[in-house]
Amino acid sequence: MKPSKSEQLVLKGISGAPGICIGKAYIVDREGVNIIKRYPISDDMLPKEIDRFKHAVTKAKNDHAHVIESLDEDIGENLTILETHMALFKDKMLYGTTLDTISNEKINAEWALRKVSRKVKALFQQIDDKYLQARVNDIVQVSDKIMAYLVGAQDIKICDINKRVIIVAHDLSPADASQIQLERIKGFVTDRGGKDSHTSIVAKSLNIPAVLGLVQATTAVKNDDILIVDGSTGTMIINPDEDTLFEYEERLARYEAYRAGLLRESHLPAVTQDGVSLNLMANIELVEEVVAAKDYGASDIGLFRTEFLYLDLKRFPTEDELLCKYKELVELMTPNTVTIRTLDINGDKVNPYLTAMEEANPSLGLRAVRFCLENEDIFITQLKAIFRAAAFGNIKLLIPMISCVEEIIQVKQVISKSILQLEQEDKIFNKDIPLGAMIEVPSAVIMADQLADHVDFFSIGTNDLIQYSMAIDRRNRQVAHLYQALSPAVLRMIKMTYDAAKNKGIELVMCGEMAGDPINIPVLVGMGLTNFSMNSVSIPAVKRLIRDLDAEKAKQNLKKIMNFNKAQDILDFILKEYQAILPFGETDE
């Protein structure tokens, strides 16, 4: 499969983040998944192989001990989990059996470890005992750590890469992606990943081209291969020939000129041809993104994904630490508004130190508000920090993944407790801030008219709404083709939410990636939506389209659009009707 030096190979994946980059490949296989191969070990080499395994275990164990030592605060149950891991490194079932497997089957340590950990995992899963089933996760984590030392993958830390390279990885978590050093890394490609996954959202915010779901990137690419990554079309070219290189250098120059043109207009108002004024806000993951958001022409921060503050930590942040971040953000944005979304952890945004747990379907599991309601102290800490920060500027409070009325009622009870604590502690705070619910679960759409009685605003999270309503895992490339924002089902749900908000007189925002793609804007404006929050890099292109759009015409067209029953028909209609104002695919401009 590997191309010879002169052989060009084109791979198609999923567009993760737009833009083009050309550079040398740097392979980062954090899990070592693809590099585990089975090979025989001769009798005379067996002692060496056994030593290699023992050495990897010792190193992984020492590393783990350092992590435990470095925990400067009580992290409760999670500390117990980490201590359990300590014992598992030398556990007979994992350690002893792997050693036996190497000797008896005369195979390499990686293969033996993988074989044993899979067996142990299967065994535990069969036992009808919740506690023991939960131990599966511990075994997987410990064996992963040993494996990382065996395959030599533990040395690579994304934030330490200091070459101007293109990262090639089997998979990157959103936390990994957020560590990318912009000035060093040109772009990245992964074998795994799906449409609008959080990894792709992070890549867009960083403004680096990314292609996900390439399946065989890590096997087809060698370190230092020349790569072209076209994030806009989801293409990666390995060892391009001269003509291709020349073509892409030209495309890159055109793309940069196009982006520069957009940027020059980014501060113009987002007003349609017929005078409808729209509000374009930015989604951010880190406080550091605020300057870029303003440069791209964002009026407000419409979504602050606070979980990114938690993803790299080994303990939960304190109220004062959170306050410090929120205050900084609010002060940077004053007099404009910052919508702070409470912790949306788990799902694909996991921190193994904070929320170690084994869930068969993490996206359907203890994620977001469900996690917060189960862990009230963590929730209260965050809420108190938000109310305290609200004394310094305009904050809106947004709750993710609300799926029923009971949940928002429970949230309000926790809010009351938080306020009471702040009063008792005599803290300076502002409790009079708008409360919003994310509408991103189909049940919330259906109950939107009732939910509207309990909140001040809705924010439609189309990334999850599409995932949950179409039953598509956002991270799964196999089903990415079904992930269509313009599906009639999705449009009907948006319309239902819009109608519920309008009838109850509450504000409506859309903050999913759908709002950041110009092609969707005529439909959304036609429906009557006026508040959009998006990845800030998307703002200039959306703004340009809005400035060319006639809202009244969009309203008329919506009637036709809502009569189509296939996403492709809707897409074709939009492409035809708005061809004069739609960007042709950013690279072709």
Footprint on this chain of ligand PEP (rule: CB under 6 A): 201, 303, 305, 344, 440, 461-464, 511-512
Give per-residue burial for 251-290: e unless 16+ CB within 10 Å, then b: bbeebeebbeebeeebeeebebeeebebbbbbbbbbbebb
Run of H or E including 340: strand 337-341
Q: What length is written for the chain?
A: 589
Q: Smaller CB distance to ligand PEP: residue 32 or 400?
A: 400
Q: Measured from the CB atom, is 462 or 557 closer to ligand PEP?
A: 462
Task: Examine the residue annotation and report whether 55 is marked as an active-site residue of this protein.
Answer: no
Q: Report d(CA 374, CA 360) in Å as an integer.
A: 18
CB of 331 to Mg ion, least distance (A): 27
Q: How far is the CB of 500 from Mg ion (least distance, A)?
A: 19
Q: Which is nearer to ligand PEP, 150 or 203 (CB)?
A: 203
Question: Residue 527 contacts by C-beta under 8 Å, 6 or more apart in sequence?
Answer: 494, 495, 498, 558
Q: Which of 206, 345, 385 has the alpha carbon at shortest distance from 289?
A: 206
Position 440 contacts Mg ion (CB under 5 A): yes
Question: d(Cα 110, Cα 56) in Å, to the nearest integer?
Answer: 10
Across 160-177, b (16+ Cβ under 10 Å) vs e yields ebeeebbbbbbbbbbbbb
Q: What are phi and psi of 70, to 5 degrees?
A: -75, -5
Whether residue 221 contacts residue 35, with contact meaning beta carbons closer than 8 Å, is answered with no
Phi, psi of 332 (to 5 degrees): -65, -30
**536's tokens:** 């800030």
Q: Tokens representing 404? A: 């029923």
Nearer to ligand PEP, 440 or 586 (CB): 440
Nearest Cα neighbor of 303 from 342, 266, 332 is: 342
Q: From CA 435, how far away is CA 221, in angstroms rounded?
A: 48
Residues 105, 113: Cα–Cα separation, whole Å: 12
Among 230, 464, 473, 586, binds Mg ion (CB under 5 A): 464
CB of residue 491 vs ligand PEP: minimum separation in angstroms? 15
Q: Does residue 196 touch Mg ion according to CB under 5 A? A: no
- Give the residue with the Cβ less far from ligand PEP, 11 or 17: 17
- The whole-angstrom separation of Cα 194 and Cα 212 is 7
Choose the one of ligand PEP, Mg ion, none that binds residue 329, judging by a C-beta under 5 to 8 angstroms depending on kind.
Answer: none
297 binds, among ligand PEP, Mg ion, none (CB under 5 to 8 A by kind): none
Q: How far apart are CA 25 and CA 368, in angstroms?
A: 36
The verdict on 513 binding Mg ion (CB under 5 A) reads: no
Q: Which is nearer to Mg ion, 101 or 520 (CB)?
A: 520
Residues 6+ apart with CB under 8 A from 579: none
- For residue 253, the SS3 value is helix
> Measured from the CB of residue 360, what is the shortest distance to ligand PEP in angstroms?
20
**Residue 358 binds what, of ligand PEP, Mg ion, none (CB under 5 to 8 Å, by partner type)?**
none
Smallest gap from residue 442 Cβ to ligand PEP (A)? 13
Task: Give me the catalytic one of 198, 324, 404, 481.
Answer: 198
β-strand pairing of 20-28 with 226-230: antiparallel
Rounded CA gap, 330 and 290, in Å? Answer: 10
Residue 305 touches which of Mg ion, ligand PEP, none (Cβ within 5-8 Å per kind): ligand PEP
The CB-of-540 to ligand PEP minimum distance in angstroms stands at 20
CA angle 509, 513, 519 (to 5 degrees): 95
Residue type, 285: E
Minimum Å gap between C-beta 439 and Mg ion is 10
* Closest residue to Mg ion, based on beta-carbon distance: 464
Rounded distance between C-alpha atoms, residue 307 and residue 49, angstroms = 42
CB of 350 to Mg ion, least distance (A): 15
Annotated catalytic residue 481: no
Query: In the bound complex, what is the minimum distance in angstroms from residue 403's beta carbon to ligand PEP?
Result: 13
Choice between 422 and 465, CB closer to ligand PEP: 465
512 binds, among ligand PEP, Mg ion, none (CB under 5 to 8 A by kind): ligand PEP
Question: Residue 586 to residues 112, 269, 518, 542: CA-CA distances in angstroms?
Answer: 48, 22, 11, 12
Tell whether residue 358 is a contact of Mg ion (CB under 5 A): no
Is there a contact between 16 and 250 (Cβ–Cβ < 8 Å)?
Answer: no
**Minimum Å distance from CB 303 to Mg ion?**
9
Size of the site for Mg ion (CB under 5 A): 3
Decide which of ligand PEP, Mg ion, none touches 511; Cβ closer than 5 to 8 Å per partner kind. ligand PEP
Q: Residue 538 is encoded by which pair of tokens?
A: 């998307």
Instruction: Give the CB-nearest residue to ligand PEP.
Output: 461
Integer angstrom CA distances of residue 320 from 94, 113, 424: 42, 43, 17
- Does residue 461 interact with Mg ion by CB under 5 A? yes
Question: Which of the listed partners (ligand PEP, Mg ion, none) does 209 bind, with a CB threshold of 5 to 8 Å by partner kind?
Answer: none
Beta carbon nearer to Mg ion, 442 or 461:
461
Q: Closer to ligand PEP by CB, 15 or 462: give it.
A: 462
Minimum Å gap between C-beta 259 and ligand PEP is: 24
Residue nearer to ligand PEP on the CB measure, 317 or 516: 516
Residue type, 271: V
360 class by beta-carbon count within 10 Å (0-12 exposed, 13-18 middle, 19+ buried): exposed
Task: Specify the residue, 144 or 464, whose C-beta has the smaller distance to Mg ion.
Answer: 464
CB atoms within 10 A of CB 584: 9
Q: Residue 299 is encoded by which pair of tokens? A: 């009026």
21, 170, 372, 511: the active-site residue:
511
The residues binding Mg ion (CB under 5 A) are 440, 461, 464
Active site residues: 198, 511
